[in-house]
Amino acid sequence: MGKIEEIAGVAGVDGIFIGPSDLAADMGHLGQPGALAVQKVVEAGIARIIDSGKPAGILTGDLALAQRYLDMGATFVAVGNDVSLLMQSARALRARFGGGAGGAGSGY
């Protein structure tokens, strides 16, 4: 985060992506990307990226944070990842088709 402007000045860099979970872990807030201290750094980072003339990007599974990042001017906001999307789909299938004894199906 300390070199955003330097990174933005590199030829061929078309945007800068912030990884809030990695940032949280680095800041001592493992598993807490929504922690206030982390969010303050994220907010400042998004502003600095935008001020450098580059699009800002970020990843979050928190829909409220995703909207907040968009409202702050982030250009690309990833709101899911392969693991979370797979888990959501698996849970939906299990809910629909049952999960063993007493369920609508065998659970396979």
Strands 56-59, 76-78: pairing kind: parallel
Cα 5 to Cα 11, 58, 90: the distances in Å are 12, 17, 42
DSSP secondary structure of 30-77: TT-TT-HHHHHHHHHHHHHHHHTTS-EEEE-S-HHHHHHHHHHT-SEE
What is the per-residue pLDDT for 98? Answer: 82
Range of the domain at 53: 16-97
The answer to whether residue 91 is domain-embedded is yes
Q: Render pLDDT for 12-48 as a digit per residue (tens, 0 to 9).
A: 999 999 999 999 999 999 999 999 999 999 999 999 9
| This prediction's pTM | 0.79
The answer to whether residue 108 is domain-embedded is no
The answer to whether residue 11 is domain-embedded is no
Domain count across the chain? 1
The DSSP element (H or E) to which 96 belongs, if any, is: helix 82-97
